Amino acid sequence: MKELYLFFKSEYKNVGFGYTLTFLSSFGQTFLISLYVPEILQVFSISNGVFGGIYAFATIIASFIMLTVGHNIDHKPVKQVTMVTTIGMAVSTLILGFSHYSLIILILALIGLRLTGQGLMSHISLTVMSRQYDSNRGKALSIAMLGYSVGEAVLPLILSIIIVTYNYEVSAWVCALFLGLYIVRLYFQDLSRLDEQSNLNHKPTAKALIGDYSTLLKDKFFWILIPATFMLGFVFTAVFFYQYVFVEQKGWSVALYASFFTAYAVSRFLFSIFGGIWVDKYTAKKLFRIYMIPLIIGLIPFAFVSHIYGALVFLVLSGCTMGLAGTVKTALLAELFGTEKLGAIRSLFTMIMVISTALGPLMVGILMDMKLDLKWIITILNIMLALVFINAQRISKH
């Protein structure tokens, strides 16, 4: 911990930038958008399955756009890419504030939020942190990842109060205003120090990018990493997207469950810190083999325990996995493939991850519309996750 403190003390400006972006990515993350779902279902008179399809469509469109623009962080100034992304997110939240007029407006807002929040904000932060550091990569990533935990702990409470007092659209406008304030701050920041490890004079051609992606697809270790990337996003997003629906079905107190969410944020916070220290000490490859275990165990009480404390166990253990996940996966990409084209490589993995977050809620929404029991839905998800965990053990052969 002392090493982490000393590292933060000397590098707080750089890692603070990474932390800020992961925090701001919350506005396009599923855990925050899920707060809007009950009102959206009422406004448009649609079912969970229908909205899951809309959400999947918007997310998949965003993921393909992500693949075409994610490489920009490799060869364009960090400030420029961040400014465009933040403006895009602010506009998207503003559009969401007018979504009651049309489903088309809602879809456009969701595409923008998923692209800028779920995709680019996180992508920029973690790519820059990985590129900027080598021996301290784990520490840099772990501090940057804390933005997720703080966002999950603070923003749902604030936005829930606004939604209850007014509606989800007013909440979206407040988010747009907050992002506008950050845009002003960003305009006056000097981020040129973060461009030192990038190649600003080399913009890859479309043919070169296709070649890079083709080479990556032929790498056998790509097919070890991708299932883990896909399935973790698939399962985690599916559960958290409909978490309050699940809570109501099980007869649990929504208010008490919401208070338990703080435990998730705390465990994710702590394991984000430990994950960075452990990556630098043991390597990301070793942690990759075990980081899914807490979530696999935690889903069991969430499905089969009737008391609400089953939810508390799930939230704590899922926080452990998610705290480790971002640091481990990003550091592993740098360990396996280097940092020269990390932006392009991460954009492909981010696209896969974003697609998984679209398909998870879609599948669960359909299963819910089919009246399948909650415990069996979660059991199916857990079996899929366990199979991917077994496949992840093959990384030891690298």
Q: What is the pLDDT of residues 43-79, one digit of tens each?
A: 888 887 788 788 889 988 998 898 888 888 888 899 9
Q: Are 48 and 365 in contact (CB under 8 A)?
A: yes
Q: Which pLDDT value is given to residue 197?
A: 65
Q: Which pLDDT value is given to residue 201?
A: 61
The two tokens of residue 62 are 């965003």
- Which of 93-102, 126-135, 389-398 has the largest mean confidence? 93-102
Contacts of 241 (CB under 8 A, 6+ apart): 30, 34, 37, 52, 55, 360, 361, 364
Q: Are 93 and 176 in contact (CB under 8 A)?
A: yes
User: For all residues of the chain together, what is the average pLDDT?
Assistant: 86
Encoded amino acid at 342, one letter: L
Q: What is the mean pLDDT of residues 236-262?
A: 82
* Region of poorest pLDDT, from 192-201, 316-325, 354-363: 192-201
The share of the chain scoring above pLDDT 90, in percent, equals: 28
Q: What is the pLDDT of residues 295-309, one digit of tens each?
A: 999 999 998 988 989
H or E element in which residue 124 lies: helix 122-132
Q: Which pLDDT value is given to residue 71?
A: 81
Q: What is the pLDDT of residues 206-225, one digit of tens each?
A: 666 666 667 777 777 778 88
Q: What is the mean pLDDT of residues 255-274?
A: 84
Q: What is the mean pLDDT of residues 254-277?
A: 84
Distance, CA of 49 to CA of 361 (rounded, Å): 8
* For residue 310, pLDDT beyond 60: yes
Encoded amino acid at 242, one letter: Y
Distance, CA of 61 to CA of 261 (rounded, Å): 30
11-188+202-397 classified as CATH 1.20.1250.20:
yes
The answer to pTM > 0.85 is no
Q: What is the mean pLDDT of residues 371-376?
A: 85
Higher pLDDT, 340 or 129: 129
Phi, psi of 166 (to 5 degrees): -120, -100
Q: b/e per residue, 82-121, with b = 16+ CB within 10 A?
A: bbebbebbbbbbbbbbebbeeeeebbbbbbbbbbbbbbbb
Residue 6, exposed/middle/buried by CB under 10 A (0-12, 13-18, 19+)?
Answer: exposed
Q: Are 254 and 248 in contact (CB under 8 A)?
A: yes
Q: Which pLDDT value is given to residue 125?
A: 92
Q: What is the pLDDT of residues 99-137, one digit of tens each?
A: 888 899 999 999 999 999 888 999 899 888 888 887 788
Q: Which pLDDT value is given to residue 174?
A: 94
* For residue 260, pLDDT beyond 70: yes
Q: What is the mean pLDDT of residues 243-267?
A: 82
Sorted by where each begins, the domain ranges of the chain are: 11-188+202-397
Distance, CA of 319 to CA of 276 (rounded, Å): 15
Q: What is the pLDDT of residues 150-173, one digit of tens each?
A: 888 888 888 888 988 888 889 999
User: Cα angle at 286 between 331 and 217, to 5 degrees?
Assistant: 55
Q: Are 14 and 193 in contact (CB under 8 A)?
A: yes
Q: How confident is the model at residue 198 (pLDDT cuts 50, 70, 90)?
A: low
Q: Which pLDDT value is given to residue 177?
A: 96
Higher pLDDT, 209 or 39: 39
Q: Which pLDDT value is given to residue 327?
A: 83
* For residue 187, pLDDT beyond 60: yes
The share of the chain scoring above pLDDT 70, in percent, equals: 94
* For residue 398, pLDDT beyond 60: no
Q: What is the mean pLDDT of residues 244-262?
A: 81
